[in-house]
Amino acid sequence: MIIIAFFNNKGGVGKTSLAYHLAWMFTDLGARVVAADLDPQANLTAAFLDEESLEPLWVSGDRAETIYSAVRPLLSGTGDVLEPTGHAIQDRLVLLAGDLALSAFEDELSSEWSGCLDRKERSFRVISAFWRVLDALGNRTSADVAIVDLGPNLGAINRAALIAADFIVMPLSPDLFSLQGLRNLGPTLDRWREEWTERRKKNPAADLAMPRGEMRPAGYVVLQHAVRLDRPVRAYARWLDRIPREYRESVLREVPPASSPSVSNDPHCLALLKHYRSLMPMAQEARKPVFHLRPADGAIGAHSQAVIDAGGHFEALARRIADRCGVALAQLPV
């Protein structure tokens, strides 16, 4: 199973909505998908499940119904990670539910990071916990890909989650804050990758599998930009123009060419997704992706064409990510 994390340390860019829609689109295109909510705010989980479905998962006792309940034995000192059950959303789509209690794992992940340098087996079990839970659920469900949603920070929870990732897709909005997020994120990923490589060699338990910690940048997605006559409005254009250079410098650690390409011509730009405005709250109310909306959900008139357009945009994006990350998809939607 290929693990793809969707991450930017700047919040409010539409990251969770992107992860949600791509989990559905990958499923529509024939892949078996694990949607994993490793954000303590559990927003991805709330997108999939209503409160009546969610409450039993959060009071499930000893069953590993959420990511927190799967790692709780490590936190309490009573054992190792539990086999996660997952929540079947559809035949090929399984949710590893988030949990607000996951924030309690932050301190443990922080303190055990240095313990890996001292060859402490428990430290390696704690730091690798997210990857081992994802790997177990992926093996049990024969998943092709895991879509992982993370919170917008550079703390210990996200460090452990990103170490578990094979690839990272970076959602951006066309503003100064996303540019600053790239400046922070690139050097941090380099440091974490280097530090985990050093620690991984010190694992004292030969039978304890570890994530490789590759965290390869797969590209970025620009979300919620406004357009007028198929051109970004001026307020956004000034920031859009700076994204290709910043991504190369800060994330890829490359020297950009003297004349950087525009976002629309940048091979590292996976997509420019416009704001779907009234479609998004309609989809949230129906608890389905925008491209699954039907007239019964209120998608009538001009909305009908917008739903079709959204399906085309997300399919193109899913196929591009799949191509970058090596995920096998059907040639036609199923």
pLDDT in tens, 36-71: 999 999 999 999 998 888 888 887 656 678 999 999
First vs last C-alpha separation in the chain: 21
Q: Can you give the pLDDT at residue 333?
A: 45
**Pairing relationship of beta strands 167-172 and 2-6 according to DSSP bridges:** parallel
Per-residue pLDDT, 229: 40
pTM (2 d.p.)? 0.93
The Cβ-side half-sphere exposure at 291, using a 13 Å CA radius, reads 22
Which token pair is 70?
């799967």
pLDDT exceeds cutoff 50 at 33 = yes
The fold for domain 2-218+312-325 equals: Rossmann fold (3.40.50)
| Every domain of the chain and the residues it spans | 2-218+312-325
Query: How confident is the model at residue 17, as a pLDDT?
Result: 92
Mean pLDDT throughout 250-277? 86
Lowest mean pLDDT among 2-16, 218-232, 248-262, 278-292: 218-232
Mean pLDDT is highest, among 151-165, 172-186, 267-281, for: 151-165
Instruction: Give the lowest-confidence range in 11-25, 116-130, 249-263.
Output: 249-263
For the chain, the average pLDDT equals 89
Residue 237 to residue 78: CA distance in whole angstroms: 54
pLDDT at 329: 87
pLDDT of residue 63: 66
pLDDT category of residue 233 using cuts at 50, 70 and 90: low
> What is the reported pLDDT for 170?
95
Largest CA distance in the chain: 64
Q: In this predicted structure, what is the pLDDT of residue 204?
A: 96
Which residues in 91-125 are b (16+ Cβ under 10 Å) and which e? Answer: ebbbbbbbbebbeebbebbeebbebbeeebeebbb
Q: What is the mean pLDDT of residues 168-173?
A: 94
pLDDT, position 228: 45
Distances (CA, A) of 116 to 1, 201, 211: 26, 9, 14
Percent of the chain residues topping a pLDDT of 70: 94
pLDDT of 158 over the 60 cut: yes
Residue 309 has pLDDT above 80, yes or no: yes
Position 334 confidence tier, pLDDT thresholds 50, 70, 90: very low
